[in-house]
Structure 1
């Protein structure tokens, strides 16, 4: 898909709504405005609402209208850095040590590093759209980890140093509001609550 700059796409809320409609996603004025502001300001977009109102589909449509790949991090109870950031492939490290014999081997080389969604978007040569889906299913510790990531778009790997974003991703978080999110996280985002569509809008969606 052709890649488009945010400046070209997000010229106004009306332009955003029009381009989303071309991607078969109908956004009302308030949602289109929130998306416009998030893209232009370079801030994460936090979409809250009941299940099934179109939060995840909005993220997919945004990625399509920008012509960018979507990287999805599905949150769940107990998610941690190893599932969201990175982990080392210990089996490959052990095999490399055995095969190396008396020779030195760098077991912290990139080939032993398993990049999870957050690291994937940092290392990507081109801007990605990062979807952090159902953030409310995670715990407060993971929220703190994510907040640190969003602050500077970088992570520190003790054995490798700091890895910074090659291109700052566009970040979209969704929540079903099964619990209240930390105020620090909410303040960092452009916020929008998505409601169920009315009968007229629902008919328009069906006709797409």
Structure 2
């Protein structure tokens, strides 16, 4: 297990070691979250790298990643624990067949830990000291307020209570990363227990650095044109602007097509890799895509002459 970074600069290097090119503002809040032992709440558009932070920390710090993928209707049974009812019923039937009729003893037996199915939150809290994992609570905004309220105990005291077994408290709190795409507002009570950061789209310079780090086989000309094209799209009137994840997917697709630079036909044929809504694709195809492409190629020529 790797030691935690001791400075903001070390945190930047730690993230960059796996190709995650973070701005200093993000590296600062990550460092403070690790130093202070506080959960980190990351909000931003889909595809900007929020979830990737947890994956990178788990990889670079040598810790297990435990992921709780949130969805509407998520409850304690799915997030923390549930009893293995089938196994309990078999235990009851076997006891009855053996003539064991001591109900109190049987009740204690069937609520033993061996019948407990441990879900993500309980797994994160039960890790031995020195092996605290990275706990990713992904897309919290998809759950309801009742589940948020339950999380308050977990994030405040790093403990959960199981009526049949008692309170289980973490020997060493996990590193907690919470993400939200902001489809709804998360309650202030939960946010106050976390450090907060809005993860926005990177500027062209940083996005180009990300592409070069993550897709080193792509030509420099292609990487530059893709980044400028995507940056231009984000400034337009789209239903859903492409994130960094879509930029990387597009570079990968173009590289697989042996493209060394963008041309109107290739752009039109591959817009479905970059954009995920038909209205946005229809708006960009044809003359609009060519206009943007001509604009960025002029910009690149101008930059090369200065």
Task: Tell me how far 1:166 sits from its aligned partner.
Answer: 2.6
Q: Residue 3 of structure 2 corresponds to which residue in structure 1?
A: 5
1:79 and 2:74 correspond: yes
Task: Tell me how far 1:5 sits from its aligned partner.
Answer: 2.8
RMSD, aligned α-carbons:
1.0
Secondary structure of the residue aligned to 1:206 is helix
Q: Residue 181 of structure 1 corresponds to which residue in structure 2?
A: 186
The one of the two structures with greater contact order (alpha-carbon pairs below 8 A, sep at least 6) is 1
Could you list the structure 1 runs, at least 4 aligned residues long, displaced by more than 4 angstroms after superposition.
none
1:138-177 CA deviation, whole Å, 9 max, x = no partner? Answer: 0110000111111111111111111111321010000001
Larger proportion of strand: 1
The structure 1 residue matched to 2:200, chosen from 188, 195, 207, is 195
Q: Residue 12 of structure 2 corresponds to which residue in structure 1?
A: 17
Secondary structure of the residue aligned to 2:67 is strand
Larger proportion of helix: 2
Q: Residue 112 of structure 2 corresponds to which residue in structure 1?
A: 109
Q: Residue 156 of structure 1 corresponds to which residue in structure 2?
A: 161
Gap runs ≥5 in structure 1? none
TM-score by length of 2: 0.65
Gap runs ≥5 in structure 2? 214-306
1:35-80 CA deviation, whole Å, 9 max, x = no partner? Answer: 0000000000001000000000111111112110100000001100
Aligned residues: 203
1:65 and 2:84 correspond: no
Q: Give the Cα–Cα distance (whole angstroms) in 1 for the partners of residues 156 and 85 of structure 2.
A: 30
Larger Rg: 2
The structure 1 residue matched to 2:121, chosen from 107, 118, 121, is 118
